[in-house]
Amino acid sequence: MKASQYYLALIVLLALASYGAFAYDPSPLQDFCVALNDTSKTGAVFVNGKFCKDPALANANDFFYGGLKEGNTSGALGSMVTPVAVTQILGLNTLGISLARVDFAPYGLNPPHIHPRATEILVVIEGTLQVGFVTSNPENHLFTKVLNTGDVFVFPIGLIHFQQNVGKTKAVAIAGLSSQNPGVITIANAVFKSNPLISADILAKAFQVDKSVIKTLQN
Establish whether 120 is an annotated binding residue.
yes
Q: Measuring CA to CA, how many Å separate 137 from each of 34, 140, 141, 142? A: 39, 5, 9, 12
Q: Measuring CA to CA, how many Å separate 197 from each of 12, 185, 212, 218? A: 48, 16, 15, 8
Q: How far apart are CA 211 and CA 203, in angstroms?
A: 8
Please report the pLDDT score of residue 23 as a whole number: 39
User: What contacts 107, CB < 8 A, 6 or more positions away?
Assistant: 78, 164, 165, 166
Please report the pLDDT score of residue 22 as a whole number: 42
Four-residue CA torsion sign, 84, 126, 79, 123: positive
**Digitized pLDDT (tens) for each residue of the chain, 219 residues in all:** 555 554 545 454 444 444 444 434 556 778 888 988 776 655 556 666 688 888 899 999 999 999 899 999 999 999 999 999 999 999 999 899 999 999 999 999 999 999 999 999 999 999 999 999 999 999 999 999 999 999 999 999 999 999 999 999 999 999 999 999 999 999 999 999 999 999 999 999 999 999 999 999 999
Please report the pLDDT score of residue 5 as a whole number: 52
Angle (nearest 5°) at CA 160 between 216 and 115: 105
Query: What are the chain's domains?
Result: 61-183 (2.60.120.10), 185-218 (no CATH)
Q: How far apart are CA 98 and CA 152, in angstroms?
A: 17
Peptide bond into 138 cis (omega under 30): yes
Please report the pLDDT score of residue 24 as a whole number: 40
What Rg, from alpha-carbon coordinates, does the chain have?
22
Q: How far apart are CA 170 and CA 155, in angstroms?
A: 22
Model-level pTM? Answer: 0.83
Please report the pLDDT score of residue 12 as a whole number: 47
Side-chain half-sphere of 90: how many Cα atoms within 13 Å? Answer: 18
Please report the pLDDT score of residue 137 as a whole number: 97
Establish whether 113 is an annotated binding residue.
yes
The string over 7-35, giving b where at least 16 C-beta atoms fall within 10 Å of a residue's C-beta and e elsewhere, is: eeeeeeeeeeeeeeeeeeeeeeeeebbbb
Please report the pLDDT score of residue 21 as a whole number: 42
Task: Please answer whether residues 15 and 23 qualify as being in contact, where contact means their C-beta atoms are separated by less than 8 angstroms.
Answer: no
162 beta partners: 132
Task: Please answer whether residues 155 and 137 qualify as being in contact, where contact means their C-beta atoms are separated by less than 8 angstroms.
Answer: no
User: What contacts 69, CB < 8 A, 6 or more positions away?
Assistant: 82
Establish whether 161 is an annotated binding residue.
yes
